[in-house]
Amino acid sequence: MTTDPLAPLLDLVDVRPALEKARAEADSAMRHRSLRRSGGAVAAELGLRSAVASAALEGHAYDLEEVRNGLVTDPVVQGSLRAAAALDGLAATWTKAPRQVLAKLHTLIARDLVPADQLGRPVAAGARLDALMAVVAGRSTAPALLQAAVVHGELLALRAFAGPNGVLARAAGRLTLISGGLDPRGLLAVDVGHQRREPEYVGASGSFATGTPDGVRAWLKHCAAAVEDAAAALVEVGELV
């Protein structure tokens, strides 16, 4: 019998209730009436907001309207936008060929930032990255939010690729939510939640990297809270579109 490597994380104090609450908030938001008439417009707006937030967390913050109007050429922002636009198309392949998808995401994100021979190629490959890719490929049956948090946190800690690893980690986290069924339409702008809680995001991700139970617990609870923020943003945008 193969042991699920993520199962013990559900037994950390307060983690399971936090994940369940975030899932309930996300499910409720996705029943918003606006999605029946303008789901595509809502998804596009939230994808834009998520990409801008992710770039901001990487230290490249710009006004949302300037980005929307095509006035920002910053390559980190442009890479984040390309990744956000590609997530839906990559979701079906993510669990089948995670390394291939990660390489594609890195190429989209970093193509104007690192030498061509480094695109899609990990610079710090090893057993830990192999283990993470095995989790993505089906070694775990843990809730999608838990898997997404681990993917996100591990890629932040590993810094396995050249360039803006944070943008890559956040894109992979969103992709895990989409492919795992929590956010099948790509409507949760989780990076907006991370940005709204930026000091907590930075502290919790650093704690996760220590590998201690308390550090992992802090990160998982932060990720659950960010999904709740994303659910609130979905309702907010749905009311406007």
- In terms of Cα–Cα distance, which of 115, 41, 108 is closest to 78? 108
- In terms of Cα–Cα distance, which of 183, 233, 229, 225 is closest to 204? 225
Is the full-model pTM beyond 0.85? yes
CB 128, CB 154: distance < 8 Å: yes
Q: Which two tokens stand for residue 192?
A: 């907006």
Q: Which two tokens stand for residue 9?
A: 């994380």
Cα–Cα distance for residue pair 106/101, rounded to 1 Å: 9
pLDDT at 138: 86
pLDDT at 125: 67
Percent of the chain whose predicted confidence (pLDDT) is above 70:
98
Tens-place pLDDT, residues 65-74: 999 999 999 9
Residue type, 180: G
Residue 1 clears pLDDT 80, i.e. is over it: no
Cα–Cα distance for residue pair 68/203, rounded to 1 Å: 30
pLDDT at 204: 98
Give me the chain's average pLDDT, please: 94
pLDDT at 70: 96
3-state secondary structure of 65: helix
pLDDT at 36: 73
pLDDT at 35: 79
Tens-place pLDDT, residues 122-176: 987 689 999 999 999 987 899 999 999 999 999 999 999 999 999 999 999 999 9
CB 113, CB 97: distance < 8 Å: no
More confident residue, 60 or 36: 60
CATH T-level assignment (fold) for domain 7-240:
Fic-like fold (1.10.3290)
CB 50, CB 173: distance < 8 Å: no
pLDDT at 183: 95
pLDDT at 126: 82
Percent of the chain whose predicted confidence (pLDDT) is above 90:
87
Q: Which two tokens stand for residue 15?
A: 């983690």
pLDDT at 2: 58
Q: Which residue has the tokens 């659910």?
A: 231
Q: Where are the alpha helices (H) located in the chain, listed in sequence order? A: 15-29, 35-57, 64-68, 75-94, 98-110, 127-134, 144-158, 165-179, 190-196, 198-210, 213-240
Per-domain boundaries in the chain: 7-240
Residue 34 clears pLDDT 80, i.e. is over it: no
CB 206, CB 161: distance < 8 Å: no
Phi first, then psi: what are they for 3, rounded to 5°?
-80, 135
Tens-place pLDDT, residues 206-231: 999 999 999 999 999 999 999 999 99
Cα–Cα distance for residue pair 176/18, rounded to 1 Å: 18
